């Protein structure tokens, strides 16, 4: 299905909010994410989806909203998909606990 940029941003936002909400609601700690496989699976699927939608945003939209690290988000998705055994869980934990809340705030300003 072909989505508009605004529809993609909405989907990115929804997946980010759900993922962050689950982490907060269940009081998951960074250390748990580093060691527990079910939690790792839990966070990677939304990151895949977010990255895929980011990758498919138009270049014009990404340029107009360059304050968001679009290339890094899409790049993370590519690394997770194409090198799953090379996943650095410290980086993923930083993304989930530090970068995802910032992304949510940035996306709220776009909607």
- C-alpha to C-alpha distance for 37 and 75, rounded to whole angstroms: 22
Instruction: Identify the CA nearest to 2 among candidates 53, 76, 59.
Output: 53
**Residue 108, both tokens:** 């709220």
Please give the model's pTM, rounded to 2 decimal places: 0.90
- Give the dihedral sign, CA 65/97/91/75: negative
Q: pLDDT below 50 — which residues of the chain?
A: none
pLDDT of residue 75: 94
């Amino acid at each position: 299905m072909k989505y508009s940029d605004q529809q993609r941003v909405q989907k990115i936002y929804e997946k980010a909010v759900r993922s962050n909400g689950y982490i907060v609601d269940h009081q998951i700690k960074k250390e748990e994410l580093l060691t527990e496989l079910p939690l790792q699976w839990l966070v990677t699927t939304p990151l895949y989806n977010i990255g895929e939608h980011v990758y498919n945003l138009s270049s014009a939209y990404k340029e107009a909203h360059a304050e968001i690290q679009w290339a890094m988000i899409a790049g993370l998705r590519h690394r997770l998909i194409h090198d799953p055994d090379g996943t650095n869980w410290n980086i993923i934990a930083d993304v989930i606990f530090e970068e995802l809340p910032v992304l949510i705030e940035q996306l709220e300003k776009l909607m």
